[in-house]
Chain A
């Protein structure tokens, strides 16, 4: 073995000390700011690759928020996400759970186990309803404890919610909306809408818009019944106005811009329509060939229209952002099967 000379050893030692005595660099630990635009990526069915993406309009950055904050994948079929109190409630349909995460840190705070949940609808700071696939019940959640506190039998699988004073309207897998009295938590009534009940949303405290997609012959693809846009107001338990769409489909999406009181809707494909009280239903926007609408949302701060495109449902989808002048201003590379947007800017 070669011997190390004393002079060489001293030189090495001096060098090490020199490095060791170098002034400490200021270490700053960056904490992630979970503000921005959330993209709800459903993921492929039975692929467990659903995610919540966070897009930051300022920097253009996009990342998987849940994975980053918790170092865990989220689950299978991330159906919806909603903000209430100091939490986000992420409904993971085919993982049978709702992940409750802190709004500031996105850290997991609770997990609510539920059978095939679809949407969570907060009624107050302490109470929410949850709809279910594969169950005829709507669950009641105590938001203080994040525990299921009861159930309401509505005789159908359930989807979206809307509220007209004390009445909660629930979309179902049939042609009718079910009406729950939110004070008694009992089924109160039902409202016949039409085939292909798809989306319902409050366009004011006293009015609800309902999108139904109609009926198709599965063997030929022929439209048997056109879709329609229906309206229900607070005082009547029936459809007060209905506008027939020009075609039918198997799915649709709808959003509302409160600033200009405009409903945007689509039956999939490339076409997006707008509806206003004064202008009626008109074609609003056509996407490029090969693109298609899977979800719609309006940014309440500036009126930008966000359109999610699930692409081939197997690789990453996209989100197209259009300004109020219908100019495409940005395309976000999202996760797999993006179905919705939540703004938290």
Chain B
């Protein structure tokens, strides 16, 4: 923790000394050149998520997407799954780098403070070829955008249960060199009250052992040469310590604690060779530690290191036709008490993609093929096709189909006991069709999708011995519908209204199981709601803004037999925020008062894990432009 503070301080000194001269504004975006054509698979749906008023990625998804986020407590492990698939099937991508752990295939959404992110999008469905093998159900894309500006930002949040966050950033530039330094500190007790129905009379009880502490630091640098070379470097460190509360009914004597340390170093180079040819190189190191402590057990320590090198060549034959080819080499190395010895895996991925746009700009087509070698074994080929047709000025049709796969995680393969080195990759297919309607200020999307995944990896009691073993044991089919709409209207000069709604129906069932008469056959997957949705209304009058958001999660089955008494009740959460925007010379800012769960809903996201009742938060954001011009 101490060395992060030291590095932050040194970088601030360096940053201040070079931030003297004004230059034109430009944006360094991880995908700037290729974004227009190649980052988004043709035919898929992309939702941009607003970053305001949320502290973590977990809160962002809860409040802005019709997604179910599985979480043990507001600050504990949080994962999400799209379209009824598992958390391992949703990739979390940062500047084009898949952050899913090679050890368990997950990424904790509560470990991503949104202060470190400038752009977040949700890409449902068939886009796996561009993201990687973990994006079977979709991907959450996070990006940094370094803007050439001179600005100091300060944020402070205070909330119920002693939750607080302070964050600071300094952005500046000197000639062609831009930089930004970010520092963040969060902590909280999270000792909210809940009704403990394991006790006679269900008394209001304080949740114990739920405090957390998190510090983070990010340093970005970008440099552009006159000969069209662009360099971007990012170092991001996060350290967090979290106590893990016991569920209701469990004695909280174990003092469980999890400490996470993540270090990411990223270097990107873009070069526009000529008007038709560009090259895009990436180098990344991900170093992650997870340490688990329990009063009565030996500490469980684990570490994973991913080294990634990628080179991408884009050739624009004609204005309507481009080909992209990329090679990615990833070295994964993990150490855990559960494996006894370190485990390694080398992945070599070759991706080829063709994008075509008709001359009248009515038809769009993209074809891609991903092939991968892991430890010199060929993974299943993953072809993908996307098509878009502009029917008229209001209506667009999108379609996409792909084969997909996911390699087993290190835990699935090597954990002792139960890891199964003979596991096959999960393989499947998916297809979706979307209608996009846009008329003036109103936008409406409707998507129907189908996913089928074979060799689904689950841990089951072994028939030969009494420990659990990872097995390719299920086939899962997921069909559903997604609706989203947006309406924005300026009523008068100083008055705006925006309404966003999203709804998802998902029917995800086991179509084959390890036993023919298994009770889960034909049943909805656990913790996968059939219905989920959100509605958000935002009204701005001059400098005042009122936000009202609601989230609905339908009934959740907690057991694979889908018995009625093994369910969690549907819940509706209502949040209200009132904000005021400040503007004074070179100073701007905003202050907010938010009330979460204003309807005081008693709800559970995980069985017997209480969630907070009504709670409050105030936040203040100040931006100071120190540019002399």
Contacts and interface: CB of A to CB of B under 8 A. Distances in A.
B520 interface: yes
A315 B520 contact: yes
Contact of B464 (A76, A269, A336): A269
Given A47-B608, A315-B519, A73 B197 contact: yes
B247 A76 contact: yes
A115 B254 CA distance: 11
Contacts of A72: 197-200
A228 interface: no
Contacts of B197: 72-73
B463 A270 contact: yes
Contacts of B466: 249-251, 267-268
Interface in B422-465: 460-461, 463-465
Interface in A40-66: 46-49
Contact of A48 (B248, B519, B559, B566): B248
Interface residues of B, number: 38
Contact of A96 (B198, B251, B295): B251
Interface stretch (A200-208, A214-222, A237-245, A255-263): A214-222
Contacts of A267: 466
A312 B460 contact: yes
Contacts of B246: 46
Nearest to A293: B466
B155 interface: no
B376 interface: no
A46 B247 contact: yes
Contact of B461 (A74, A115, A270, A292): A292
B464 A48 contact: no
Contact of A315 (B199, B296, B561): B561
B258 to A, nearest CB: 14
B416 interface: yes
A146 interface: no
Nearest to A267: B466
B253 interface: yes
A75 interface: yes
A227 to B, nearest CB: 11
B465 A268 contact: yes
Nearest to A71: B200
A49 B471 CA distance: 25
Interface string A270-286: 10000000000000000
B560 A314 contact: yes
A250 B465 contact: yes
Interface string B503-546: 00000000000110111100000100000000000000000000
A48 B463 contact: no
A212 interface: no
Most chain B beta carbons < 10 A, residue from A115, A249, A312: A312
B249 A315 contact: no
B463 A49 contact: no
Interface in A77-116: 94-97, 115-116
Interface string A330-345: 0000001000000000
Contacts of A316: 519, 559, 561, 563
A282 to B, nearest CB: 21
Given A73-B198, A94-B250, A312-B461, A134 B296 contact: yes
A269 B465 CA distance: 6
Interface in A304-340: 310-316, 336
B465 A73 contact: no
Contacts of B518: 290, 312
Contacts of A49: 607-608
B460 A73 contact: no
A76 B249 contact: yes
A48 B417 contact: no
B318 interface: no
Contacts of B515: 290
Contacts of A219: 340, 416-417
Given A250-B466, A270-B463, A315 B560 contact: yes
Contacts of B608: 47-49
Contacts, number: 103
B581 interface: no
A134 B197 CA distance: 27
Given A48-B198, A49-B608, A218-B417, A95 B461 contact: no
A221 B559 contact: no
B349 to A, nearest CB: 30
A313 B519 contact: no
A94 B246 CA distance: 10
A310 B467 contact: no
Contact of B566 (A249, A292, A315): A315
A68 to B, nearest CB: 12
Interface in B240-260: 246-251, 253
B306 to A, nearest CB: 24
Nearest to A96: B251
A73 B198 CA distance: 6
Interface string B405-424: 00000000000110000000
Interface string A285-297: 0000110100000
Contact of B560 (A268, A292, A312): A312
A203 to B, nearest CB: 24
A134 B519 CA distance: 35
B554 to A, nearest CB: 20
Interface string B551-567: 00000000111010010
Contacts of A336: 559
Contact of A75 (B249, B340, B463): B249
A249 B465 contact: yes
B463 A76 contact: no
Interface string A131-167: 0001000000000000000000000000000000000
B521 to A, nearest CB: 12
A90 to B, nearest CB: 13
A154 to B, nearest CB: 17
A290 B463 contact: yes
A47 B607 contact: yes
B198 A47 contact: no
Nearest to B526: A314
A250 B417 CA distance: 11
A223 B212 CA distance: 43
B416 A95 contact: no
Interface in B383-424: 416-417
Nearest to B515: A290
Given A48-B198, A269-B464, A96 B253 contact: yes
A267 B463 CA distance: 11
A116 B297 CA distance: 13
Given A47-B608, A221-B465, A73 B249 contact: yes
A49 B607 CA distance: 9
Contacts of B559: 314-316, 336
10 contacts: A76-B250, A216-B417, A221-B465, A250-B417, A268-B466, A290-B517, A313-B461, A314-B560, A315-B563, A316-B559
Interface of B: 197-200, 246-251, 253, 295-296, 340, 416-417, 460-461, 463-468, 514-515, 517-520, 526, 559-561, 563, 566, 607-608
Given A219-B340, A312-B520, A315-B563, 16 more contacts: A47-B247, A49-B607, A49-B608, A72-B197, A72-B200, A73-B197, A73-B249, A76-B249, A95-B198, A97-B251, A249-B465, A268-B465, A269-B465, A290-B463, A312-B560, A314-B526
